[in-house]
Structure 1
Amino acid sequence: MNIFRLAADMTHLASILVLLLKIHTIKSCAGISLKTQELYAIVFVTRYLDLFSSHVSLYNTFMKMIFLASSFSILWYMRRHKIVRRSYNKDQDTFRHFVLMIPCMLLALFVHEKFNFKVVMWTFSLYLEAVAILPQLVLLQRTRNIDNLTGQYVFLLGAYRALYILNWMYRYFTEPHYIHWIVWVSGLVQTLIYADFFYYYLKSWRNNSKLELPS
């Protein structure tokens, strides 16, 4: 644990809390991609297969349970809650998200650190997380109507991964033999996907104007 990882974890947690705040208090999921939320649920399930078989720390176990529980709570709200689901932009959230899973799984089968079920699934979760935000970004480009909470959610989600890059850099210089190319490359790809959104988010924040993405 170091300050960069802690900051990244807290930023990730903050992004989820912002989204739950929007859904629970405003009773709206307008501008939120169900496709992205489904992909994140798959990411967490495949990454945390060792939840009950491998204990790292109480903090580690607690965070895993929080991410799993919050992910499925968001899915329940968007799919089952009578009021929330009516605000879902179904007609515009049409990204074929499951198509992303096929190349990620194939890549995990051939590019991994060790060929066993848990490691391949963990690797698959890294590849899938790198591209899971794409349906959300496409939806925001289509709607062109991004409220503050949705913008904050996506920004925090991207910032968490950027902070993890600082964590990896810190560990590389402070821990001997710390090299994880798969983690690093997938994390870098994920951060680069957010680059365009970061630009327009920070521009709107600086100009105190409404966030809009180019079509």
Structure 2
Amino acid sequence: MNIFRLAGDMTHLASVLVLLLKIHTIKSCAGVSLKTQELLALVFATRYVDLFTNYVSLYNSVMKIIFLGSSFSIVWYMRRHKIVRRSYDKDQDTFRHYFLLLPALILALIIHEKFTFKEVLWTFSIFLEAVAILPQLVLLQRTRNIDNLTGQYVFLLGAYRAFYILNWVYRYFTEPHFVHWITWIAGLVQTLLYADFFYYYFQSWKNNAKLQLPA
């Protein structure tokens, strides 16, 4: 494992911990999109169907369990916890996220490395993850004023994918025959979706001001 892959995993893990910290300590999910969290839970559920059938390493298995468990627990808290769910802004989180499912599935059925059940589900998870952040970004744009923990969560989630792109570049030049067009293109699309947020995040950090997105 190279430093870029490790940095990507750690920033991904940090994003989850920041969101769980907000939910557990503040008992609030204000500014957090349930639609995005549901999509991410589906991403991990379809990507890690091989959790108990394809052992890679202890590190790999532990990370899969963490992301599966944390994603579904976040959805549960936002839907079922008596206190947390009161802070969920359902009226603003109106992005029709289910419209993202069918295109991702169709693409996975057409574009894949091997036509098997696990491979199609894995490819579906890659395409879906690329656009899963859209409901969250739309919600932030509508609410405009973003609290620190929510801003850090989205930033870390975007940084995770950016580090993975650096990991792919590194592996392309250091490993023979390392070519994965599906993950590369989906990862690039996902990172580009964060570009606007990154710009305003760094502007607020540079000016030591509260993060605000334009209407």
1:165, distance to aligned residue in structure 2 (A): 0.4
Aligned-pair CA distance for 1:144: 1.2
Residue identity in the other structure for 1:101:
L
- Mapped to 1, the partners of 2:141 and 2:8 lie a distance apart of 26
Alignment of 1:81-160 (within 5 A): 81-160=81-160
Partner of 1:71: 71
Cα deviation code 1:116-143 (max 9, x no counterpart) = 1100000000000000000000000111
Equivalence for 1:172: 172
Shift of 1:145: 1.8
Question: Structure 2 unaligned runs (5+)?
Answer: none
Aligned residue pairs total 215
What secondary structure sits across from 1:172 in the alignment? helix
Could you tell me which amino acid in structure 2 is paired with residue 181 of structure 1?
A: W
* Corresponding residue SS for 1:90: coil
TM-score, scaled relative to structure 2: 0.99
Name the counterpart of 1:161: 161
Within the alignment, does 1:33 sit opposite 2:37 as a pair? no
Amino acid at match of 1:138: V
Counterpart position of 1:80: 80
**How far does the alpha carbon of each residue in 1:81-126 deviate from its partner, in whole angstroms, 9 at most, with x for none?**
1000000000000000010011010000000101011000000000
> Residues 10-21 of structure 1 correspond to what in structure 2 (within 5 A)?
10-21=10-21
Q: Please give the root-mean-square deviation of Cα atoms over the aligned residues, in Å.
A: 0.4
Distance 2:82 2:59 in 1: 35
SS at match of 2:194: helix
For 2:211 and 2:145, the matched residues in 1 are separated by: 8
Structure 1 segments, 4+ long, off by >4 Å, are none
Structure 1: how far apart are the matches of 2:106 and 2:72?
Answer: 26
TM-score where L is the length of structure 1: 0.99
Residue equivalent to 1:4: 4
Which amino acid in structure 2 is aligned with residue 163 of structure 1? F
